[in-house]
A and B are shown apart, each in its own frame.
Chain A
Amino acid sequence: MDEASEGVVKKFMFLNRKAPYGTIYALESLEVVLISAAFDQDVSLAFVDDGVYQIVKGQHTKGIDQKNFSPTYRALEGYDIEKLYVEKEGLEARGLTEDDLLVDVTVLSAAEMANLMAEQDVVISF
């Protein structure tokens, strides 16, 4: 691709629907999110379905010999990625509340989440 992407600002949503550790999607999704910060786009992260498990407090991964990447979600603010959304129904269906999460998020109803998704230019889902 030849033309420069400078100046173009699109609404990017990274939609996370998978739990961490059982598969690599959550970690590799976070890697894309961090890179996207360098492109000055309008980035949102949405945690839907099992995706909310990515940001629960108290993850200790020593026993499974994997890197605990959950602290990185707290570092996103430093990359100017501050729009984190969680679907209320998904949270409740998993017996969780906002207090169980390790980052500040905006909790949205399914209808609100649907509208937010519909506003996006690019949705990347893992």
Chain B
Amino acid sequence: MKFGILINEGPYNHQASDSAYLFAKAAIEKGHQVPRVFFYHDGVYNSTKLTEPPQDDRHIVNRWSKLAQDHKVDLVVCVAAGLRRGIKDEILAPGFRISGLGQLVEAGIQCDRLVTFGD
């Protein structure tokens, strides 16, 4: 089954990105696909390579990058929400790309389920 994921909150401040990641990982481990994760609202902050958490904490951004690399997950950052918040191509971590809201609607159409994580 194909699961699309929508994340509406930034990392660390809110559990949304953690819950979404653990859900995605579990889905992939069960043999499902996660073709796309869409980052919207403050969720766009999950994509910046400038993120540097303390060493004893999880690295939320790198975790997404690795998932994308290992399992071909398309990490899409909303362009409108991103520009509003200073998220641009030059600061994107590996695996993320910036695109339009149409990619969210498309994920809703093409995936069997769309699961939203937010505040």
Contact = CB atoms under 8 A, between A and B. Distances in A.
Contacts of A24: 41
A28 B119 CA distance: 14
A28 B6 CA distance: 13
Interface stretch (A33-41, A71-79, A99-107): A33-41
Interface residues of B, number: 23
Nearest to A6: B109
B80 interface: yes
Interface string A10-51: 101000000000001100100110011011010000000000
Contacts of B40: 28, 32
Interface size, A (range): 20 to 34
Given A124-B114, A126-B41, A32 B101 contact: yes
Interface in B3-27: 6, 8
B102 A39 contact: yes
A8 B2 CA distance: 16
Pick from B40, B108, B111 the residue with the most CB of A within 10 Å. Answer: B108
Nearest to B114: A122
For chain A, what secondary structure do more than half of its interface residues adopt (helix, strand, loop), or is it mixed? mixed
A125 B114 CA distance: 11
Given A1-B106, A1-B107, A32-B40, 15 more contacts: A1-B35, A1-B74, A1-B110, A10-B109, A12-B105, A28-B40, A31-B101, A32-B101, A32-B105, A35-B102, A38-B102, A38-B105, A41-B109, A124-B116, A126-B118
12 contacts: A1-B107, A1-B110, A5-B106, A12-B108, A28-B81, A31-B80, A35-B105, A36-B105, A39-B105, A41-B105, A122-B109, A124-B104
